[in-house]
Amino acid sequence: MLEIPTAEAQTPIQEPKSSPLEIGIGVLFLLLILPVISFSIRELTDIADSLEYGGDMIDMLNSMVYSLTTVSILLVVGLYYLGVIKTRAAKLVSGLTLISLSLVNILCRVVDFQRELQRNREWGWDGSMFEYLSWPSTHERIELALLGAIVALLIMKK
């Protein structure tokens, strides 16, 4: 005869708890948000001051996108290591958010690169876009934005 299992007989599946090392890493990432916000605010005030002297408003928008991307990556990774982001839906939403921000970041950087390249050409430099992208100061900015998307993919996969 078949028996219907009772609710008492079923054992819930336990998720592994965060280790002290993971908690420490998560707290470190969350603490890193404070200096990033401090630097971001200082950068924004510098850009706001430059608006008086012919600065571009797009620089302020780009600065906010770059800062928001960095803060979001630190926040998501910190919460992930603390074990706050557990469900598949939370991982998916946080991952897609980071990927979206990273893509916007890359697009803003490409526009910045075009403006910088134009300025360099006005000052007499006649190099190509490929040569410009080979400069460490240029390609490292793209790599950092791509790392944000890679982190997001890893969080979504686990």
pLDDT digits (tens, 9 = 90+) for 107-131: 999 888 888 888 888 888 887 778 8
> Total domain count for the chain?
1
Residue 137 lies inside a defined structural domain of this protein: yes
Q: Determine the Cα–Cα distance for residues 90 and 112; give it in Å rounded to an integer.
A: 33
Range 30-54 average pLDDT: 93
- Residue 1 confidence class, pLDDT cut points 50, 70, 90: low
Q: Using the predicted structure, report yes or no on whether residue 66 has a pLDDT greater than 90.
A: yes
Residue 152 lies inside a defined structural domain of this protein: yes
Residue 1 lies inside a defined structural domain of this protein: no
Residue 9 lies inside a defined structural domain of this protein: no
Residue 4 lies inside a defined structural domain of this protein: no
Residue 74 lies inside a defined structural domain of this protein: yes
Residue 37 lies inside a defined structural domain of this protein: yes
- Short-list 152, 18, 30, CA closest to 92: 152
Q: In terms of residue numbers, what domain contains 119?
A: 20-49+56-157
Residue 103 lies inside a defined structural domain of this protein: yes
CA angle 19, 150, 62 (to 5 degrees): 115
This prediction's pTM: 0.81
